[in-house]
Amino acid sequence: MNPVLETRHVSKIFGGLTAVNNVDIVVPEGSIASIIGPNGAGKTTLFNCISGFYKPETGNVLYYGSPIQGMLTDKIASMGIARTYQNIRLFKAMTALENVMVGFEPRLTQGWLTAVLKTPGYLKEQNYVIREASKLLDYVGLKGLGDNLAINLPYGAQRRLELARALANKPKLLLLDEPTAGMNPQETDEMNSFIRQIRDDLNLTIVLIEHDMRVVMNISDQISVLDYGKKIAEGDPKQIQSNPKVIEAYLGPGAAALSEKYRREKKQ
């Protein structure tokens, strides 16, 4: 049984900078995997390699066992991989509903001619898309906001809209880039449970990049830690929390020893 996603020896080099250095990650089906690491560790670059924005210099990205690195991003989307973005990238001048409708693109079959002539086949498809897109909006909690322009929505709603658009691709693998950035604790908790809910309802596999440790430790089945482009640790939340290398990466050298000291003192 192939894992949903596997990166083998993936490296991405920009000029003199190796942003991603020989990273191997395996994501089993149905799991929620997180990628964490200090800023600049290469997490978004890795995402970009996976979703097709970058072509890695070395290595393979395997989706259910088949290599997809370097493929065009629309092809990748039609294969069932969808993503959201660190800085929200919605289609600003389009309404919320339309944003989600764009996500149905890979599944559309009607062309321009039938669109102009408004054939029954075209209308059937249009209605289907409108109906399903509205359902998605409801699902993410944006019921009734479909006719608002995307830029007019509040921040939290925009994040959820981006999620809805990603879900419109009918993905099997969902890549979320810092889904709780800029949210207050309450919104973060809601997003937390929502991510889990999506995974359960829709049978997805989810990979996230996150900085908020509450989210990461709470919902991840597996955590991979990157630092300076290399993977320095991997495991479940408990393992990662006490991994000295991870502590050092975040807090600097010597922090690991200090943390160990505190833990021993606490036990006494």
Partner 1 sequence: MDDNNKKSPLKLPQNSIKYARVIAALLLLALLILRGVNVAREAQLGSDTWLRLSVSGLVIGSMYALIAIGYTLVYGILFMINFAHGEVMMIGSFGGYFIFELFNTIPTTAADGSQSTFLNTSPVLAILIAFIVGMIIAAVAGYYLERIAYRPLRGAPRLVPLISAIGASIFLQNAGQLLFGPQRRQYINPTVLERGIGWNIELGGSQVVITYTGIFTLILSAILMVILFLLVQRTKLGRAMRAVAQDKQTAALMGIDVDQIISRTFVISGALAGAAGVMWGIHNGLFNYFVGFIPGIKAFTAAVLGGIGNIPGAMVGGFFLGIIESIGPAILGIDFQLKDVIAFTILILVLIFRPSGILGEALTEEKL
Partner 2 sequence: MNKESLRKSVSSALVVGIIIIFLALIDFHVVLAGMIQKLFGKQLYSGRLPDAGFFLVFLGLIGIWNGWRAARLDQQENKSLFQCIACSAAAGLTTGLVVAVYAVIVGSIDAQGTDLRVYLSLLSSDSIQFFLFQQPVFIGGLIHLGFGTLLAAAGGFMAALYYRNQDQLKERLSSVKSWYQERILNKVQSVPYINYILLGIMVLLLGIMPQVWGSYWNYVMGTVGIYVLLGLGLNIIVGLSGQLVLGYVAFFAIGAYTFALTTAPEPHNLVVNFWVAILASIILAAISGILVGLPILRLRGDYLAIVTLGFGEIIRILLRSDLLKDFTMGPRGVRDIAGPTLFGREFSSSADFMYLIIIAVILSIFFAKRLQESSVGRAWLSISQDETVAQATGVDTYKYKLLALALGASLAGLGGALFASRNQFTGPEDHALMVSINVLCLVIVGGMGSIPGVILGSFALKGLPEILREMENYRMLVFGALLVVMMIILPEGLWPASRPKLEIDVGKESESPQVGAGGES
Give me the residues that bind partner 2 (CB under 8 A), please.
51-53, 72-74, 76-80, 82-83, 85, 89, 91-95, 97-98, 101-112, 115-118, 120-131, 146-147, 149, 165-166, 168-170, 172
Q: Map residues 211-230 to x or -, x wherever contact with partner 1 holds by CB under 8 A.
A: --------------------
Q: How far apart are CA 111 and CA 204, in angstroms?
A: 30
Least distance (Å) between residue 131 CB and partner 2 = 5
126 binds partner 1 (CB under 8 A): no
Residue 230 pairs in a beta bridge with 227
User: Considering only residues 29-58, where is the footprint of partner 1 by CB under 8 A?
Assistant: 44, 48, 53
58 interacts with, out of partner 2, partner 1, none, CB within 5 to 8 A per kind: none
Least distance (Å) between residue 221 CB and partner 2 = 22
Q: Map residues 128-167 to x or -, x wherever contact with partner 1 holds by CB under 8 A.
A: ----------------------------------------
Q: In the set 63, 85, 104, 139, which binds partner 1 (CB under 8 A)?
A: 85
Those residues whose C-beta lies under 8 Å from the C-beta of residue 11, and which sit 6 or more positions away, are 18, 20, 21, 22, 23, 56, 57, 58, 59, 229
Considering the complex, state which of residue 101 and residue 256 has its C-beta at the smaller distance from partner 2: 101
User: Considering only residues 105-124, where is the footprint of partner 1 by CB under 8 A?
Assistant: 106, 109-114
Report phi then psi at 87, rounded to 5: -95, 120
DSSP 34: E
44 interacts with, out of partner 2, partner 1, none, CB within 5 to 8 A per kind: partner 1
Considering the complex, state which of residue 10 and residue 97 has its C-beta at the smaller distance from partner 1: 10
Q: How far apart are CA 54 and CA 226, in angstroms?
A: 18
Considering the complex, state which of residue 54 and residue 139 has its C-beta at the smaller distance from partner 1: 54
Rg of the chain over Cα atoms, rounded to whole angstroms, equals 20
Considering the complex, state which of residue 53 and residue 262 has its C-beta at the smaller distance from partner 1: 53
196 interacts with, out of partner 2, partner 1, none, CB within 5 to 8 A per kind: none
DSSP 173-194: EEEEESTTTT--HHHHHHHHHH
| Structure-block tokens of residue 157 | 């709603």
Q: How far apart are CA 54 and CA 72, in angstroms?
A: 10
Which H helix or E strand runs over 224? Answer: strand 222-227
How many residues at the interface with partner 1, by CB under 8 A?
Answer: 15
> Which of 49, 87, 84 lies closest to 229, judged by CA?
49
101 interacts with, out of partner 2, partner 1, none, CB within 5 to 8 A per kind: partner 2
| Structure-block tokens of residue 214 | 């509450």
CA atoms within 13 A on the CB side of 260: 10
Q: Which residues bind partner 1 (CB under 8 A)?
A: 44, 48, 53, 71-72, 78, 85-86, 106, 109-114
